[in-house]
Structure 1
Amino acid sequence: MINNQSTTPPEDKLKLSFWRRVLKFIGIETTPEHRWHVRLKPRFFILILTGIVIFIISLGGLAAYSTSPSFCRSCHIMEPYYQAWAKSKHSDVACVECHYPPGETKTILWKKFQALSQVAKFITRTYSSKPYAEIEDTSCLRSGCHSTRLLQGRVVSEKSVLFDHKPHLENVRYGRQLRCVSCHSQIVVGKHIEVTWDTCYLCHLKGHKEGRNIEPLGGCQGCHLLPSRTIKVGNITYNHKDFLGQHNIACQSCHQDVIQGEGDVPKERCLTCHNQPEKIDRYKETAFIHDNHVTKHNTACFHCHREIRHGASAAGTKSLAYDCAVCHTDMHDLQRNVYRGIGAKGVPPMPSPMYLANVDCTGCHIMEKKTTNWDLSHSETFTGNKDGCTNCHGKEYIGVLDEA
């Protein structure tokens, strides 16, 4: 007699029953008699369509989130840069608007690939602890941002400095093709992508001071507006126009100590980024280095150069001690103290009005004098004469030096 009962173990029957219920729930029905016969109900197609819609919405949401500053902030190493952006003038501009070029320069897929690659680096911990960004000029000059900046001509900055963007960006400046971020590289909190003034000083002042002579690139008034207001210091009143305009007095007659630093490039700075001997050997190839670092990769000047500082001393604070004092110890101490009006016991300070106005020693000591005293290591000095008085104060000061 043939046994028609199923030989399927009880536990397998339970499993089959469970999966049939699952399939039935999602709209797929099968029958025990016809195991491979499948019938799809409308519920199945509704669920599939719903899943596709949810996937598309999720994908779009993820794509939108990946372009938001919050996504950049999800990596802890980006927090200081996020804070710098959040408190800056660009806080209403998303990171990707600047860090990825606009339009067809780079496709959307390329941008998404970059975002995903950054996520992968973060998850695998293969990211650099010192992130570095390259921002192309097209991002800054795009429509709706700074598209008319090159047409504005000479503008006056917040520091009353004259500047024209067009020649700096369109022309090769002394062998260097500048980019927007050559000058706009500041990323400290609150000043994200603002002007790094030290870059201006490096280009305009490096190599343009020799001894007492200062000849900045473009001249002082190429950048600085001639002050129009009358200035009162102590018991004297003066206006720059009287000296620079009427008498054509050089700025360094009063502002001799406005430049500190050489802006040189120590060779060991190269080792900060490079360890290949063949790259270090090209240290003296200035044209190649500037083209490769500044023009092609937007490297900030001070990744390589030492700083040059530029600024005038506050009234009555000039030290009058120059590099000469490094070798000539205590030279002219008496003259400096008299000029500064250093007081003593029972004697109040009485600084010269010239000192209070920041007139440098070189403002009066203008007469070059050759010397035959071979004990000196230099063959010329500068002494005072009547022209040092009349150049600034006019002919009515003739004879004042003789009375001193």
Structure 2
Amino acid sequence: MRFWKKKEKIQTEETEKKPGLFRRMWRKFRGIDWKNPVNRWKLLFASLFAVVGFSGFLWGAIAFTSNPSFCSWCHEMAPEYVTFEVSAHSEIKCTQCHIEPGAVNMVTHKVHSLKEVYYHIVGVPDPIVQTIAVTNESCMTCHSENRLVSATGDLIVNHSEHIQEDIPCVTCHSGVAHAKVVERGINYQKDMDYWTMENADKLVNDTYMRPNMGTCIDCHDKVNKGDKPWEDIQYSLPENPHKDGHGKQDDEDGHAEAATTNLSAEDKAAVAKKKAQGIIFQALGKQVEDVKISMECSTCHLEVSTPKNHKAIDWNQNHGNAAINTLDECIDCHQDSKWIKHFEKQDIVSLIDAGASRTKYNPDLSIVKTDSRENNFCSSCHSYRPEGHVESDVWLTAHADKAETKQQKEECYVCHDQSKTLENTKLTAPTDVYCEQCHRTGFKSK
């Protein structure tokens, strides 16, 4: 006999397994006498308390997640947070721009934003790209559409006429809060550690935040060709590398780049250069076409500050010395980035290093020569033979006194190389005529 054997437990009503908490609460709720008005009042107050509590929790959650500092918690949002903090919009909340006004839009957006939590856990898109444009309704909650002249008193922009054409504000003001970090290619995950407030002044400046003149020119050029590019909202957004076909550039006929697909890289560059130079000629008033919107500077600018030395009669022929001595000042106006819509891709490390060790420009002929050949503003004129050269057979024997001194020779070198360009070397000079074709033994320099 096994006396240690446990006695079988006799199932009784007292030893039945007790029901769970929610089952007991449900039984208790069903047992309430709802005919009793006191119990109905208790239910009303309890429901009211629950609604108030839930609403308070929901409002608190929305307010907490709408605070810009909340965005800074995520490592991948560093570029957006740093650029926002140093922008003119730093005193408002992100949601005031990125969510259309209205409580329903706010709640809907928060629900949709749950996918950002998922991306944060499994891996965010690299780079992060804005795919939903800020609407005019969001902008109009703070700004007026009646502005005609910029705060500086120079730029003429009739905002109301642009809005009447349904042109999105972000078409011109795409960099106002985030300095076009996507377009510049400096918001990849490998660059996140560089995005600190200490580096903000090296990575962000007015060039990227204010409306880019190239954007105005590109849009006006398309309007003159009968297009309304803003009707496709992708025109106002940065190019999305995660979506095929987004951000394709247009050729000079205003059609998709399919027309130049079969061209070599050099031929495509030549087409782009010709287009840019044509626009520059229009802006200078040297190429007048039957257009809807004039491209001349005075169309948009009340004050075009032309330096005094530019007004000299012989300036076009004798500005070489000024270019050599003050190239950094010339480039403030005469740079390609002023005339194109998109900024070139940048290297974040180079930007930080350049910002930390910014050096003063020293006169350098080789730099000026390269710039005059590559810069579209300069090469738009330098690619044509000067009128003073007259006929080639006459100029050949008559130019000696125009190239006597070292300074005069330097002016020649802007267009002509002294020696023959080496094979497999890109020819950047406007002409393939070089000095040693005739002066094979060299020549004296004064």
With structure 1 as the length reference, what TM-score do the two structures score?
Answer: 0.46
Largest Rg, 1 or 2: 1
| Larger relative contact order (Cα-Cα within 8 Å, sequence gap ≥ 6) | 2
More helix by share: 2
